[in-house]
Amino acid sequence: MKQLHRQSSLSKQHRPHHRTRSLASYLVREHRLLFVLLGFLLASSFFLVYPSLAPHPSSLSSSAYAATTSSAAIVTRNPRVFSTTANNVATARRLPVGVRKKPLRVVVTGGAGFVGSHLVDKLLARGDSVIVVDNFFTGRKENLAHHLTNPRFELIRHDVVEPILLEVDQIYHLACPASPVHYKFNPIKTIKTNVMGTLNMLGLAKRVGARFLLTSTSEVYGDPLEHPQKESYWGHVNPIGVRSCYDEGKRTAETLTMDYHRGAGVEVKLLLLDRGVSLTTVYLAGNLSSSYVAQI
């Protein structure tokens, strides 16, 4: 009985070893191991190579990114912010083969305006769902008329100085009177739009975890003493002039944006539109809209 027991325990001790040996001989037979290794190699190299075959714009390095934007006559600021977010996104967006990118829900404030309506065209064309929030101060419904029957498009008449709650992934905050005649028309309203409107949209970004882009302006440099203005240049500004509602409003909007980034972890982008260059020319060159969409 003892012997039997010892025998059975012995055979138990030997079984795993025997199993390993038979597995090994199975793999070695007919070059099976080689095929298994080849399979692993093929699969992993495909996963590694695939993202580089079709790079997402957001995975651009900060320098490549700056190059794209400057060629489109847009001035970008704070490369540090870009590189932080771009790196995170590049890692997060690496999708396995066959898995399609989820369409994004995007809100564009000031989307009925000149820049905004072109941006909406691009966003819809890339497959996103777009909500435009605009009070039609200078924007026109006709700019968006061709999208009104699109189920992925919504238009809301709303003033950004009032809070709004929307479930979105990205916020492009453009709402602001942009030309001197419009922003000087009611300067108090202009600065209110820049400060309260930006606060409301940043608050929304924080609440729903959306990424945020602010369109700023080269006017934040005031009457610059340096040409062209570099990232390190802070401007030569007038806080009390008749244009200050716009210039200082946008400066404050930039400050708020960076404070929400540092203090609340909101992923942000600042985009300076250079009004010295004809935006129409840039549009016609086909540059602005594509790099613009690439911002977030």
Q: Catalytic residue numbers?
A: 246
Please give the C-alpha separations between residue 68 and each of 103, 214, 294, in angstroms, as whole numbers. 24, 18, 9
Size of the site for ligand UDX (CB under 6 A): 24
Here the tokens at position 47 are: 């996963």
Q: Does 248 bind ligand UDX (CB under 6 A)?
A: no
Percent composition of the chain: helix, strand, coil (DSSP 3-state, to 5)? 55, 15, 35
116, 147, 200, 267: which one binds ligand UDX (CB under 6 A): 116
76, 89, 107, 113: which one binds ligand UDX (CB under 6 A): 113
115, 120, 124, 201: which one binds ligand UDX (CB under 6 A): 115
Q: Does 114 bind ligand UDX (CB under 6 A)?
A: yes
CA–CA dist 194, 171 (Å, integer): 15
| Distance of closest approach, residue 117 Cβ to ligand UDX, in angstroms | 8
Return the closest-CA partner of residue 179 out of 114, 270, 107, 269. 114
Q: Does 193 bind ligand UDX (CB under 6 A)?
A: yes
- Residue placing its CB nearer to ligand UDX in the complex, 89 or 245: 245
Q: What is the residue type of 283?
A: Y
- Residue placing its CB nearer to ligand UDX in the complex, 107 or 176: 176
Is 201 within 8 Å of 109 (Cβ atoms)?
A: yes
Chain residues 207-236 in contact with ligand UDX, contact rule CB under 6 A: 215, 217
170-173, strands of its sheet edge to edge: 74-76, 268-273, 211-217, 170-173, 105-109, 129-134, 153-157
Binding-site ranges for ligand UDX (CB under 6 A) = 109-110, 112-116, 134-139, 159-160, 174-178, 193, 215, 217, 273
